[in-house]
Chains A and B, each alone.
Chain A
């Protein structure tokens, strides 16, 4: 930081405080000026590069905007107030303008959403198991062998670094279309992401229980099981539930590449139709995700609350 020299007046008194302050301020600003200009140049260079690369030009944008609005117009359902709760008629046909007409395929959607939730549960369980297996080896304070530590860390990084949907694509290719590929992809991502969080929790545990277990002759696994796990379990459960919420979202979109769940249907209706079916599925997905979030939040609070008692 620049030090301001304040020249004295002839009588030996300092100049008036306002001018001293202003001088100090300009000095500080000048010191930072060069750096700020550099950052601004970099920033605008980046911005121009981005605009050119993605062809984000006004005329294209205007065209795109009108098409987006047009599209959103076409996926709106045609609902009429007076017919809204009209059931099916004698021939089993729904009346146009009613909710039943909009959600003709409700049964199919619901069974797919059920499948999505089961996928999320299975993936969360498997992923948490994987994370549990990895997290102790990936904690600095618990794993003395730096090679195992290094590989555990890198392995978790790769698991969470590669996009879920790409892993799903590979598994669809290897094991065929269906929820299995989605489950495995989400589980692998979960193992990487939760493993990192678990390892961070592990790094903050108290050493005393571990030393105690070692003192009575416990091996490494016993130290982890009886020394570390009781300390970290509440946190693990909370993180696991949080991950479950994320996995419900992930499972609902992983079907885009054919890996099961509601995403497969969502992809189908978006790609092949542009009518109210798109919005029907979207609304269901959003409602499901919101409900699961609320439910899991209550469960989390319950678990945390219990621990504090």
Chain B
């Protein structure tokens, strides 16, 4: 190709030559077709979904919806709200989350070791433990809550059990992964002094994994406080039950008030757990 001196000196042939010399610089027609096809399929799917799920209903909300929207911003008769009741519900939610997380952490402390490859050499046993944990984890916390409400009745006990069971699954898995990632040297050092298995775990492994365990349990406390609200909605005690009760009684302003309070509670727990992590773990634990 002859060197181009001015832009107007470019002929059609020059442009074509440059294009064919650098095919990627001007967009690959097959690739762009693929991208267009992807976008088209997304839009076709969305169009289908909008019809299939009848999205038109969004624009014709019921009379109640407008009342709900109004009540969200206009709070009435605030002196008659049963604040003691509301804050007892919030305390109950916190208690459920705390107890559930604590008990699950205790169990996970043992089960985590049983599911760790470098502790339990016997594969069959380890895999059995892991599959049981998978089942605990695979079923959603809310489903556990519904099952426990059915089994032990309405109230916070069902919520604690639901958090407990589903967190055993998740926390044990996380704990066992932390145990599998430890530094071997410290363990070998302890073992070389003639320590038995229990002491090896106590002085060789625990000091390495405890900060990680604590940090993960704190994260779970926070997330459980959040989810304990949902548990109440299916009847497992706590603030969720108060929310649904007020909702059924069409006291939407109180629902909004309670939700704001829950958000504040979660923010406080977030802040406290951050402080505790900093205090005990420093920069080590994530």
Residues of A within 8 A of B226 (CB): 161, 163
Contact yes or no, B233 A54, CB < 8 A: no
Min CB–CB distance B167 → chain A (angstroms)? 14
Contact yes or no, A249 B140, CB < 8 A: yes
Query: In this assembly, does A18 line the interface, its C-beta being within 8 Å of a C-beta of chain B?
Result: no
Query: In this assembly, does A206 line the interface, its C-beta being within 8 Å of a C-beta of chain B?
Result: no
User: Bound complex: CA of A271 vs CA of B139, how far in Å?
Assistant: 17
The 10 closest A-B pairs by CB, nearest first: A174-B65, A53-B95, A54-B156, A50-B95, A71-B151, A50-B99, A64-B152, A122-B49, A163-B230, A286-B138
A-B contact count (CB 8 A): 151
Which of B45, B139, B148, B244 lies in contact with A286, CB distance below 8 A? B139
Min CB–CB distance A79 → chain B (angstroms)? 18
- Chain B 135-146, CB-CB to A under 8 Å as 1, else 0, gives 100111011001
Contact yes or no, B98 A46, CB < 8 A: yes
Query: In this assembly, does B160 line the interface, its C-beta being within 8 Å of a C-beta of chain A?
Result: yes
Contact yes or no, B150 A271, CB < 8 A: yes
Residues of B within 8 A of A226 (CB): none
Among B4-12, B54-62, B108-116, the one that faces the other chain is B54-62
Query: In this assembly, does B219 line the interface, its C-beta being within 8 Å of a C-beta of chain A?
Result: no
What are 9 inter-chain pairs, A to B, with CB distance below 8 A? A56-B99, A71-B151, A163-B227, A163-B230, A163-B233, A165-B142, A166-B229, A176-B57, A184-B58
Query: In this assembly, does A257 line the interface, its C-beta being within 8 Å of a C-beta of chain B?
Result: yes
Contact yes or no, B45 A169, CB < 8 A: no
Interface residues in A122-168 by Cβ distance below 8 A to B read 122, 125-126, 158, 161-166
Would A173 and B65 be within 8 Å (CB), given that A47-B102, A64-B161 are in contact? Answer: yes
Contact yes or no, A68 B157, CB < 8 A: no
What DSSP secondary structure best describes chain B's contact surface?
helix
Contact yes or no, A253 B142, CB < 8 A: yes
- Chain B 40-79, CB-CB to A under 8 Å as 1, else 0, gives 0010011001001111011001101100100000000000
How big is chain A's contact interface, by range? Answer: 35 or more
- Chain A 28-43, CB-CB to B under 8 Å as 1, else 0, gives 0000000000000000
Contact yes or no, A53 B57, CB < 8 A: no
Min CB–CB distance A289 → chain B (angstroms)? 6
Query: In this assembly, does A256 line the interface, its C-beta being within 8 Å of a C-beta of chain B?
Result: yes
Query: In this assembly, does B204 line the interface, its C-beta being within 8 Å of a C-beta of chain A?
Result: no
Contact yes or no, B148 A176, CB < 8 A: no
Query: In this assembly, does A208 line the interface, its C-beta being within 8 Å of a C-beta of chain B?
Result: no
Query: In this assembly, does A267 line the interface, its C-beta being within 8 Å of a C-beta of chain B?
Result: yes
Contact yes or no, B143 A118, CB < 8 A: no
User: Bound complex: CA of A163 vs CA of B52, how far in Å?
Assistant: 26
- The CB with the most chain B CB atoms within 10 A, among A163, A253, A267, A289, is that of A163
- Chain B 236-269, CB-CB to A under 8 Å as 1, else 0, gives 0100100110010000000000010001001000
Contact yes or no, A54 B237, CB < 8 A: yes
